[in-house]
């Protein structure tokens, strides 16, 4: 074994870290210097802003890259060598020579794709393992089999580094996989941004990992566009989002909003829960039509024999059935949402009432033409329009509505549904909103429209002034851009560089940030804006979403640039969709691509065999993904009183790592001693979950309690969460 090889790699890794430190010190110095600048003139402020924005973004990326900075190296047959890392870094020489290549740059691709059959010009691929800044191991794969040069670090097992990653103890937080992305995963991560890409695969095939790395890749390859519009990642529940929440920051990417569908209506906290049956009704596509009808129900007319009599200075005004029907027809004809069509309704009524008044006041008792001239009639019209009584009458027929008011009223007495469905979704006044209400609120917001023209006009002038200023700042920033750690130019003209101010920020966003009160990123602004159009949306556990949830998401992504990952065999929610075709056809017809992942990286073969056996009891043709490893440890079954589960969990808990007890929700009260009732904290050594909560997560050891109570899909999810050991407990 060549210690010389190890020494050389250590030398290189130390050099890269030194350069990282140097860049970080420069960025830190630049930020403090800029913040400390206290010039008051426009030019001084200008320069300070440029520096703060630019160097803060750089610093964040550099800080994130510290762990596992350099993890690989590729040697081409022609002698060219590249080191691959979490970010691209250049040397401090006159040519700014590339030192470390960003894993996302095209030149890094052979690191992930090359094989003995297709070496892609490589002689050797090397995995470099580090602890802190120390190189602890090298693993070499010789791609050119005719090459006799050996280093002493050739792996007997090409998957050694991958297996070490998969066998490591879990932490309760998902980690990145940049060092070991597999070829089938790489193709998905780097697939073109346009259109809808569906990624299907069984449990543990890396769908979530791939989706997150794809987000990082897209932000790198299309930074200018995506920094403006932000990327949205939708997950099934907050605990899952917490579980995956550190992956993108660890890759230096923060321009991403992670949310559940229930969090996508700004101002609403959906803390309530629905029964699965109620959520299923609320999630059906027909609810869109039902709500549209319910909005029309709110556009009323007086009874034929029961006109509205409005007191007025010049005598009573009568708003009758015919007048209201005609006005309603005109207002609906505009095709505008309810609130925005209100002026059309009101103008028509005011016109008719004015005519009524003019006919009465100016009538010639001898049958001649009306005494009133156009000016008189205009005066009368103004008085009618200004009358609070007229206003009240108009609004009683066509009330302006907020989505919350409207949906609250609707759910109190659900119409246009059969009695059973209506009873399922009926809501008592003041009850908290549920996640399944959010797509309905969003639908309602579309049907109702929000008349914000006055607010917008007032804000616009000020905003334009700020954007003009910000554009100036960014222009200067662009002109003075730093090439410090790009891997673009000589290496690859296609790849875009790592963060610089003009990339991560646009003039609009900068202008908003510049406001004392608003330092939000695009992702934060997107979170606060219901009508935000994201640059790309990634949906994890996509099979769980209801038809109404899809309507909401499609509205947030008019370009239909989306990655949907999921596994229909794990669908737990009765509101979930059965097939991708069914989900996507209404929005993109058949213009979507399907990619499949077939290797299970999480669940050892012994556990997967057990889960498959259970599954085949109801579905004999079931085909599971192939496990990449086996542990030799078979799952066990035991009958045990519920009261003893906590003790067993403590015994089985791995010294390092995590254990989960997965049991139907109704058993949780009987499973005492498994932790507090507070919010789910996945960093605890032992946690108690129901199968829905366990979706997407993984643990070293899993105890599944009372499998007979679980649906086939829920049981399959529960059984496939373990990376090492599985026990199945039937309550005594």
Binding residues for ATP: 201-208
Given the rule CB under 6 A, which of 54-62, 159-167, 390-398, 441-449 is the region that contacts ligand ATP? 159-167
Q: Which of 555, 602, 615, 725 binds ligand ATP (CB under 6 A)?
A: 602
Determine, following the binding rule CB under 6 A, whether residue 595 of this chain makes contact with ligand ATP.
Answer: no
Given the rule CB under 6 A, which of 173-181, 346-354, 574-582, 670-678 is the region that contacts ligand ATP? 173-181
Select from 124, 90, 127, 126 the least CA-distant residue to 105. Answer: 90
Q: Which of 58, 205, 546, 724 binds ligand ATP (CB under 6 A)?
A: 205
Determine, following the binding rule CB under 6 A, whether residue 185 of this chain makes contact with ligand ATP.
Answer: yes
Q: Which of 162, 258, 393, 611 binds ligand ATP (CB under 6 A)?
A: 162
Q: Which of 56, 58, 180, 354 binds ligand ATP (CB under 6 A)?
A: 180
CB contact at 8 A, 714 and 639: no
How far is the C-alpha of 564 from the C-alpha of 87, rounded, in Å? 26
Given the rule CB under 6 A, which of 179-187, 399-407, 412-420, 581-589 is the region that contacts ligand ATP? 179-187
How far is the C-alpha of 466 from the C-alpha of 524, rounded, in Å? 19
Binding-site residue set: 201-208
Element (H, E) at 249: helix 247-250
Q: What is the dihedral of CA 525, 230, 458, 555, to 10 degrees?
A: -100
How far is the C-alpha of 241 from the C-alpha of 233, rounded, in Å? 9
The nearest distance, CB 218 to ligand ATP, in angstroms, is 17
The nearest distance, CB 541 to ligand ATP, in angstroms, is 7
Q: Give the pair of three-digit tokens for residue 297.
A: 């129900």
How far is the C-alpha of 287 from the C-alpha of 289, rounded, in Å? 5
Q: What is the dihedral of CA 49, 52, 58, 60, to 10 degrees?
A: -130
Q: Which of 181, 216, 704, 726 binds ligand ATP (CB under 6 A)?
A: 181
3-state secondary structure of 247: helix
Q: What is the DSSP string of 542-595?
A: GGG--HHHHHHHHHT-TT--EEEEE-GGG---TTS-S-HHHHHHHHHTT-EEEE
Given the rule CB under 6 A, which of 56-64, 172-180, 521-529, 610-618 is the region that contacts ligand ATP? 172-180
How far is the C-alpha of 101 from the C-alpha of 85, rounded, in Å? 6
Determine, following the binding rule CB under 6 A, whether residue 75 of this chain makes contact with ligand ATP.
Answer: no
Looking at the Cβ atoms of 125 and 488, the one nearer to ligand ATP is 125
The nearest distance, CB 609 to ligand ATP, in angstroms, is 16
Q: Give the pair of three-digit tokens for residue 389.
A: 């009584």
How many angstroms from the chain centroid is the CA of residue 717?
22
Sequence-distant (≥ 6) Cβ neighbours of residue 554 within 8 angstroms:
560, 587
Using only the alpha carbons of the chain, give its radius of gyration: 32
Determine, following the binding rule CB under 6 A, whether residue 435 of this chain makes contact with ligand ATP.
Answer: no
DSSP character at residue 672: T
Determine, following the binding rule CB under 6 A, whether residue 237 of this chain makes contact with ligand ATP.
Answer: no
Looking at the Cβ atoms of 185 and 612, the one nearer to ligand ATP is 185
How far is the C-alpha of 409 from the C-alpha of 246, rounded, in Å? 40
Determine, following the binding rule CB under 6 A, whether residue 72 of this chain makes contact with ligand ATP.
Answer: no
Element (H, E) at 75: strand 70-76
Determine, following the binding rule CB under 6 A, whether residue 111 of this chain makes contact with ligand ATP.
Answer: no
The nearest distance, CB 242 to ligand ATP, in angstroms, is 14
Q: Between vectors from CA 423 to CA 420 and to CA 425, what angle results, nearest 5°? A: 115
Determine, following the binding rule CB under 6 A, whether residue 477 of this chain makes contact with ligand ATP.
Answer: no
Name the pairing type of β-strands 562-566 and 196-201.
parallel
How far is the C-alpha of 308 from the C-alpha of 41, rounded, in Å? 63
The nearest distance, CB 551 to ligand ATP, in angstroms, is 24
Q: Which of 129, 193, 208, 627 binds ligand ATP (CB under 6 A)?
A: 208
Sequence-distant (≥ 6) Cβ neighbours of residue 353 within 8 angstroms:
310, 317, 319, 323, 384, 390
Q: Residues 555-574 vs ligand ATP: string with x where CB under 6 A?
A: ------------x--x----
Q: What is the DSSP string of 269-324?
A: -------HHHHHHHHSTHHHHHHHHHHHHTS---BTTBPEEE--TTS-EEE-HHHH
Looking at the Cβ atoms of 663 and 717, the one nearer to ligand ATP is 717
Determine, following the binding rule CB under 6 A, whether residue 141 of this chain makes contact with ligand ATP.
Answer: no
Residues in the chain: 732
Residues 713-732 that bind ligand ATP (CB under 6 A): 720
How far is the C-alpha of 255 from the C-alpha of 536, rounded, in Å? 11
Q: Which of 60, 158, 164, 166 binds ligand ATP (CB under 6 A)?
A: 166
Looking at the Cβ atoms of 554 and 697, the one nearer to ligand ATP is 697
Residues 39-68 that bind ligand ATP (CB under 6 A): none
Q: Which of 209, 264, 394, 584 binds ligand ATP (CB under 6 A)?
A: 209
Given the rule CB under 6 A, which of 180-188, 342-350, 386-394, 668-676 is the region that contacts ligand ATP? 180-188
Determine, following the binding rule CB under 6 A, whether residue 443 of this chain makes contact with ligand ATP.
Answer: no
How far is the C-alpha of 587 from the C-alpha of 395, rounded, in Å? 36
Looking at the Cβ atoms of 283 and 572, the one nearer to ligand ATP is 572
Determine, following the binding rule CB under 6 A, whether residue 692 of this chain makes contact with ligand ATP.
Answer: no
CB contact at 8 A, 248 and 256: yes
Looking at the Cβ atoms of 381 and 696, the one nearer to ligand ATP is 696
Q: Which of 61, 105, 135, 177 binds ligand ATP (CB under 6 A)?
A: 177
Given the rule CB under 6 A, which of 158-166, 286-294, 552-560, 640-648 is the region that contacts ligand ATP? 158-166
Q: Which of 68, 88, 172, 204 binds ligand ATP (CB under 6 A)?
A: 204
What is the greatest pairwise CA distance in the chain? 120
CB contact at 8 A, 523 and 227: no
Determine, following the binding rule CB under 6 A, whether residue 99 of this chain makes contact with ligand ATP.
Answer: no
Determine, following the binding rule CB under 6 A, whether residue 696 of this chain makes contact with ligand ATP.
Answer: yes
CB contact at 8 A, 572 and 181: no
Residues 697-716 that bind ligand ATP (CB under 6 A): 698
Looking at the Cβ atoms of 177 and 319, the one nearer to ligand ATP is 177
How big is the site for ligand ATP, counted in residues (CB under 6 A)?
A: 24
Determine, following the binding rule CB under 6 A, whether residue 201 of this chain makes contact with ligand ATP.
Answer: yes
Site of interaction with ligand ATP (CB under 6 A): 162, 165-166, 174, 177, 180-182, 185, 201, 203-209, 567, 570, 601-602, 696, 698, 720
């Amino acid at each position: 074994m060549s210690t010389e090889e190890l020494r050389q790699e250590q030398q290189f890794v130390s050099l890269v870290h030194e350069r990282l430190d140097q860049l970080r010190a420069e960025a830190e110095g630049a930020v403090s210097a800029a913040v400390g600048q206290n010039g008051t003139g426009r030019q001084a402020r200008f320069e300070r802003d440029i520096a703060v924005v630019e160097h803060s973004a750089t610093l964040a990326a550099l800080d994130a890259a510290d762990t596992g900075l350099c993890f690989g190296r590729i040697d081409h047959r022609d002698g060219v060598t590249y080191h691959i890392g979490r970010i691209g870094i250049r040397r401090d020489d006159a040519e700014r020579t590339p030192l470390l290549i960003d894993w996302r740059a095209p030149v890094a691709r052979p690191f992930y794709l090359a094989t003995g059959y297709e070496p892609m010009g490589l002689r050797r691929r090397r995995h470099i393992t580090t602890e802190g800044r120390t190189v602890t191991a090298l693993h070499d794969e010789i791609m050119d089999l005719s090459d006799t040069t050996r280093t002493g670090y050739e792996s007997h097992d090409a998957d050694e580094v991958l297996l070490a990653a998969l066998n490591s103890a879990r932490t309760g937080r998902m980690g990145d996989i940049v060092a070991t992305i597999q070829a089938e995963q790489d193709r998905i991560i780097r697939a073109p941004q346009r259109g809808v890409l569906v990624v299907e695969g069984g449990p543990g095939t890396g769908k979530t990992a791939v989706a997150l790395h794809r987000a990082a890749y897209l932000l790198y390859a299309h930074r200018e566009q995506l920094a403006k519009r932000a990327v949205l990642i939708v997950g099934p529940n907050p605990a899952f989002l917490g579980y995956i929440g550190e992956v993108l920051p660890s890759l230096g990417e923060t321009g991403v909003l992670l949310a559940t569908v229930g969090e996508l209506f700004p101002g609403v906290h959906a803390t309530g829960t629905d029964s699965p049956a109620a959520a299923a009704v609320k999630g059906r596509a027909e609810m869109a039509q039902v709500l549209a009808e319910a909005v029309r129900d709110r556009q009323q007319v007086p009874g034929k024999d029961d006109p509205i009599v409005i007191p007025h200075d010049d005598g009573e005004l009568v708003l009758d059935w015919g007048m209201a029907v005609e006005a309603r027809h005109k207002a609906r004809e505009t095709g505008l949402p309810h609130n925005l069509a209100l002026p059309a309704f009101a103008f028509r009524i005011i016109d008719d009432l004015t005519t009524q008044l003019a006919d009465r006041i100016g009538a010639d008792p001898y049958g001649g033409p009306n005494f009133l001239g156009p000016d008189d009639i205009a005066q009368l019209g103004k008085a009618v329009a200004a009358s609070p009584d007229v206003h009240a009458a108009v609004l009683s027929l066509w009330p302006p509505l907020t989505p919350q008011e409207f949906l609250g009223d609707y759910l109190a007495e659900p119409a246009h549904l059969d009695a059973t469905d209506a009873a399922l979704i009926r809501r008592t006044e003041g009850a908290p909103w549920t996640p399944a209400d959010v797509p309905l609120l969003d639908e309602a917001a579309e049907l109702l429209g929000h008349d914000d023209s006055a607010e917008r006009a007032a804000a616009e002038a000020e905003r334009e002034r700020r954007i003009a200023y910000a554009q100036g700042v960014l222009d200067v920033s662009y002109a003075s851009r730093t090439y410090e750690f790009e891997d673009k130019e000589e290496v690859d003209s296609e790849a875009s560089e790592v963060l610089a101010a003009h990339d991560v920020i646009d003039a609009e966003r900068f202008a908003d940030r510049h406001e004392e009160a608003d330092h939000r990123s695009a992702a934060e602004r997107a979170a606060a804006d219901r009508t935000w159009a994201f640059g790309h949306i990634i949906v994890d556990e996509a099979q769980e979403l209801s038809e109404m949830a899809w309507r909401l998401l499609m509205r947030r992504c008019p370009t239909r640039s989306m990655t949907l990952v999921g596994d229909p065999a794990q669908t737990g929610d009765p509101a979930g969709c059965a097939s991708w075709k069914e989900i996507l056809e209404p929005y993109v017809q058949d213009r979507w691509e399907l990619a499949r992942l077939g290797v299970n990286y999480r669940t050892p073969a012994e556990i997967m065999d057990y889960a498959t056996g259970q599954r085949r009891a109801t579905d004999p043709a079931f085909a599971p993904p192939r496990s990449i490893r086996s542990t030799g440890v078979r799952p066990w079954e035991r009958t045990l009183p519920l009261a003893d589960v906590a003790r067993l969990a403590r015994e089985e808990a791995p010294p390092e790592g995590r254990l989960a007890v997965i049991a139907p929700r109704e058993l949780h009260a009987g499973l005492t001693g498994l932790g507090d009732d507070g919010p789910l904290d996945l960093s605890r050594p032992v946690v108690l979950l129901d199968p829905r909560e366990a979706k997407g997560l993984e643990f070293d050891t899993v105890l599944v309690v009372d499998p007979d109570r679980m649906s086939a899909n829920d049981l399959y999810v529960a059984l496939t969460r373990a990376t090492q050991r599985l026990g199945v407990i039937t309550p005594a």
